[in-house]
Structure 1
Amino acid sequence: MINNIWILIGKKLSGEATAEELAELEELLRQGGTDLYPVDLLENLWREENKIKADDKLEAKWAAFEDKLDTADKAEADELAQSENQEHGKSKSGIIKFLKFFSMVVAACFALLFFVINKKDATGPVKSNQITAPQNGISKIQLSDGTRVWLNAGSKLVYDASYGLEQRKVTLQGEALFDVVKDAQHPFIVTTSTISIKVLGTRFNVRAYNNDKTSEASLIHGRIELTILKTPEKKIILKAADKLTINNEQPVLTGKALVPSDKSITEETPLMVLGQIHQAKKDTLPSEAMWVENKLAFDAEDFESLAKQLERRYNVTIVFKNDELKKLRFTGKFKNETIGKALKALKTTTYFHYKTDNNQVLIY
């Protein structure tokens, strides 16, 4: 039993433990006494030991990727300078400034209209509020208790008009960063289609789009209690810098045997994976929440998952002609790149082709 405990502790610290192994470790610790196996102390030592190495490695990957982007941008700028005269450039700049100003005015009008409609409906039968972020933008709101929420593109947040009076419950579809005001008497609960998270006061990111194969909860600081809705009897406690990835393609029950609902689910694809968030030294947020700053950061992300994020960011549809390409992995960061520049930069790091047709991108 002793050897098994140390093996499970090692898997937990390295982020390779499955949900079943985490539950087994917890039970063994209860039986043997936590004083004999100081997991918390070992976890802190492990994180301090590996944080610098991981940060340096991630920083080097992102820096190399950004160098390639800078080179591509310079080449494009030189080409543009040769083909356009200065007067045309001024005219284009004026148009861009006008479009930016016009978009700000439209956004302000929508915000005012939303405020008027909600104020008018406050006395009517509607008892809930719904906030939806635009398909290619980010929305930031502050709830009545001071809790701040950032909604990523196409995400939706719903909460009752009585929020904060007796309870603080919200429903999320999509991705959001929560900065929750502490209130021990009123726990904050966010529910998605697959998970429920309970906190007192903390900062965390949740990604739970309905059409994604995985959901993800990333804890920046504090503690949260996470429940998978299909197995509500199990509670998972996440600590600062923990990240839990949940496979949304749950196995279905047929008779007495568990059968995968999709052939892609195998023993190598666990139901849950506990890992750590990725944050470089110079960044104020981990890569999982950089979308708040209108950046897309990815560390060893498979192409299929990255494609979903690109679709939401650029409002396009990405189709893979070859399923093997979905398994390619990328590390990098995008800031102001167009979809064309983004795909061109990804192509410089590995082998694939792409072509675009209006808002559809074919990867082959």
Structure 2
Amino acid sequence: MNKQETNIENLLPRYIDGKTNQAESAMVESWLAEDESHREIYEAEMALFRDTESLFVLKDIDVEQALEATHGKMRKAKIRKLLHYLERVAAIMVVPLLIVIIAQFLMNNHAKTPSLLTIRTNPGMTAVATLPDGTEVTLNSNSVLTYPAEFVGKERRLSLQGEAYFSVTKDAEHPFIVSTPNAAAIKVYGTKFNVEAYPDAPTITATLQEGSIAMLYKNKMQKDCEQKIIPGEKVIYSDFSKSVNVEKADVEVAMSWISGKLIFRNTSIEEVLNTLSKRYDVDFKVKNKKVYSNAFTGTLERQRLDRILEILALSSDIRFKYIKNPDISQERQLIEVY
């Protein structure tokens, strides 16, 4: 193995993780352009990296919650022993009603409270999970999904902070409900849809691919409201106005992130920067408001952020500059736009 191959072998994992400097990135990209087999090696290592990251994310389960689940099993075992003892007492005293009353009391005071599981994704990464009812969830970058280890009761409820795509198992008797950081929630009976509900965002957007969903929210009068949409539509809830708006949706664009793509179709630069901010965990500071008059059309697939910014700069008069964030408490990179 020659020196260049050794360098590439060491640089490739760091390049995929976005930790190479400009010179190292140029070396890897030159190597990728040399031969198609190099691209195949890169794709294979990228897939391995993503799978490993997803496995790491899926292991992010609260230890205290796991212990609580174990303690729950121990309490149930004690209850069964007590019930067995009471059966013997009841048989001797010929008071069958006694065991029924006490058993009901014990079970009611120890109703099923399944432990909660949490999945978190790092910036730039996604994760896939299967919920207890068979529902498939793909979690986007920088998001948090919390759900019970077992769905009990009349509904299947979980909470989302960030963005996720759901393929929900149908069960008309047990509605599927996604709670968001605000008071709004999405009610589902069996469908495929996307929810974008980041904690610091002023809106919540649900885009429907197939089936039927409804946005549940309270208006300014604190009245419970429900807004249903049909496939090909999106419903947008504003936390400021406590109201919703229904629009026609470009489903392919809204859900392109699932396959690792970013698709823009005459998308305003404000929305483009919003998307990049969430995907790469950076902050953009627009210095020149004229920037907002631009729009962008294109498909970006697994590109590094600096490369995406180069493409945006080439297709417009926009310029980008990495600067030091004056807020030392913030770990996010700050990028000026002018």
Normalized against structure 1, the TM-score is what? 0.61
- Residue 319 of structure 2 corresponds to 353
Matched AA of 2:69: A
Matched AA of 2:336: L
Determine which of 107, 119, 128 is the counterpart of 1:140.
Answer: 128
CA drift at 1:296? 1.5
For residues 248 and 304 of structure 1, the distance between their equivalents in structure 2, rounded to whole angstroms, comes to: 19
- Residue 334 of structure 1 corresponds to 300
8 Å contact from structure 1 (residues 212, 308) kept in 2: no
Q: Which moved more, 1:149-158 or 1:215-224?
A: 149-158
Q: Which moved more, 1:155-164 or 1:310-319?
A: 155-164
Matches within 5 A, 1:19-38: none
CA drift at 1:218? 0.4
- Residue 159 of structure 1 corresponds to 147
Matches within 5 A, 1:2-21: none
8 Å contact from structure 1 (residues 144, 164) kept in 2: no
1:248-288: per-residue Cα shift (whole Å, max 9, x none)?
A: 4338xxxxxxxxxxxxxxxxxxx543222225xxxxxx110
- Residue 172 of structure 2 corresponds to 184
For residues 248 and 115 of structure 1, the distance between their equivalents in structure 2, rounded to whole angstroms, comes to: 30
- Residue 258 of structure 2 corresponds to 292
In structure 2, runs of 5+ residues without a counterpart are 15-45, 73-113, 325-332
8 Å contact from structure 1 (residues 196, 229) kept in 2: no
1:172 matches 2:160: yes
Q: Which moved more, 1:120-129 or 1:317-326?
A: 120-129
For residues 263 and 147 of structure 2, the distance between their equivalents in structure 1, rounded to whole angstroms, comes to: 29
Normalized against structure 2, the TM-score is what? 0.66
Determine which of 267, 270, 275 is the counterpart of 1:304.
Answer: 270
1:96 matches 2:12: yes
Matches within 5 A, 1:151-300: 151-192=139-180, 193-230=182-219, 232-250=223-241, 272-279=244-251, 286-300=252-266
Residue 313 of structure 1 aligns to a residue whose secondary structure is: helix
Matches within 5 A, 1:33-44: none
Q: 1:124 to 1:303 in 2, by over 3 A?
A: farther
Determine which of 50, 53, 70 is the counterpart of 1:123.
Answer: 70
Higher relative contact order (CA 8 A, sep 6+): 1
For residues 108 and 246 of structure 1, the distance between their equivalents in structure 2, rounded to whole angstroms, comes to: 33
Q: 1:121 to 1:134 in 2, by over 3 A?
A: farther
Aligned-pair identity in percent equals 26
Q: 1:349 to 1:150 in 2, by over 3 A?
A: same
8 Å contact from structure 2 (residues 117, 148) kept in 1: yes
In structure 1, runs of 5+ residues without a counterpart are 1-85, 252-270, 280-285
Q: 1:250 to 1:324 in 2, by over 3 A?
A: farther
Aligned residues: 254
Report the aligned-residue RMSD: 3.0
For residues 6 and 226 of structure 2, the distance between their equivalents in structure 1, rounded to whole angstroms, comes to: 59
Q: 1:347 to 1:95 in 2, by over 3 A?
A: closer
